[in-house]
Structure 1
Amino acid sequence: MSLAAAAAGRIVRTASAIVSRPSTTSHVLRVDGYSHLVGVLQPGEHVDSCVFDAGGHSWRLQLYPNGSNDQTNRSHIGVFLQLAAAGGHPSDGDGRVRARPRFSLVDVAGKPAPSRDAGVHGFYHGHYWGFKDFIAREELERSEYLRDDCFAIQCDVDVTTVRKCHDHPVFISQNISENHVSDTT
């Protein structure tokens, strides 16, 4: 029997919901042996952090200690957030996960410096977003954040998970002559 035939003489009520849940996860990447890393990697080469979970998805940080291949950024450290694997519910209907990464250096006491906000971006599996010019190497080397050839970067990841739900149709009998509604499910 079709939905229209089953609903004859009754009101059909369906419902759906969009549930949005924001979450923030902080991940700290510690770089021990900074000078050695700068010495062995070429511009455009990066090292990855371990994979971590944020908002039900797997992420990693990519660190470019000698910047990108772009001549203007070779004197800078680049840092990016990469979507390693999307969880079961992407934020957008097109498979993207919406996230907002913010990066900051962390001092020896564990206190983050003011962050650089990369803005909200739609991530696909393997896609990354961040800064080619997070900090100039010379600036880092003069700062309080590099101690004993170590420094740390904190990435705060805001992920908004959107889930869509749909309920099955409910048929409500309506006796027009009595002018009342009763549920017959």
Structure 2
Amino acid sequence: MAAPTTTTPPPRSTKTLTIDVLSYSEMKKNLANGKCVESDAVIAGGHSWRIRFYPNGRSVNTTGVATVFLRMDNTAAAGAGDDVHVEFKFTLQELGGGGGPPLFVSSTFTRAFSSRKTKMFALRLTRFVSHEDTGKSVFAMYDRYTIRCDLAVLPPPVKTEAAAG
């Protein structure tokens, strides 16, 4: 009986994406529901990634709700039927805050982006809420900030095959 063979997966590919919001109040006035701003693309794990920020929501039922998405641009780069597994989290940081603590850090999400269709994963920024006495959202308190996404493209699952013998 032949021993199984394994393929060593490539290491995790990590990158950081950022988008600066210079004036949330102005952006909210000027970008209607469904309109967004995008970060520059970064390449991680052989795929192009961006942050998309919708200050007035992406769809009719989210009007007035700021939403951030992680997007994989080039879904055709993956092999047919392969999903791209990603671990990511969003951080909201005061712009020019001099390295102070983040205003918010999301949970870490692990998701599979499909190579068969364009797919984005959302985290509504209404969850970025201050628990201070004022009860105001961080958007009301800080008009300028950076949205950061720490991204790790995970290696594909290891496939084991029995060697022919």
TM value normalised by structure 2: 0.72
Structure 2 gap segments, 5+ residues each: 130-135
Return the index of the structure with the highest Cα Rg.
Answer: 1
Structure 1 gap segments, 5+ residues each: 1-10, 172-185
1:83 maps to what in 2? 72
Q: 1:67–1:133: 8 Å Cα contact kept in structure 2?
A: no
CA distance in 2, matches of 1:141, 1:27: 20
**3-state SS of the aligned residue for 1:19?**
coil
Q: Aligned runs of 1:59-78 on 2, under 5 Å?
A: 59-71=49-61, 73-78=62-67
Q: 1:101–1:130: 8 Å Cα contact kept in structure 2?
A: no
**3-state SS of the aligned residue for 1:37?**
helix
Q: Aligned runs of 1:106-185 on 2, under 5 Å?
A: 106-107=93-94, 108-110=97-99, 111-117=101-107, 119-124=109-114, 126-134=118-126, 135=128, 139-143=137-141, 146=142, 149-162=143-156
Q: Encode CA deviations 1:17-41: one digit per residue, 9 max, x unaligned.
A: 2425224322221112322221121
CA distance in 1, matches of 2:139, 2:157: 45
Pair 1:158–1:40, CA change in 2 (3 A): same
TM value normalised by structure 1: 0.65
- Structure 2 residue 84 is matched with structure 1 residue 97: yes
Pair 1:88–1:64, CA change in 2 (3 A): closer
Percentage of pairs with the same residue: 22
Q: 2:33–2:64: 8 Å Cα contact kept in structure 1?
A: no
Q: 2:69–2:122: 8 Å Cα contact kept in structure 1?
A: yes
Q: From 31, 38, 47, give the equivalent of 2:21.
A: 31
Amino acid at match of 2:122: G
**3-state SS of the aligned residue for 2:27?**
helix
Amino acid at match of 1:158: A
Instruction: Give how far 1:153 is off.
Output: 0.6
Q: Give the number of the structure whose residues are more often strand, by fraction.
A: 1
CA distance in 2, matches of 1:36, 1:43: 14
CA distance in 2, matches of 1:104, 1:87: 29
Pairs aligned (count): 152
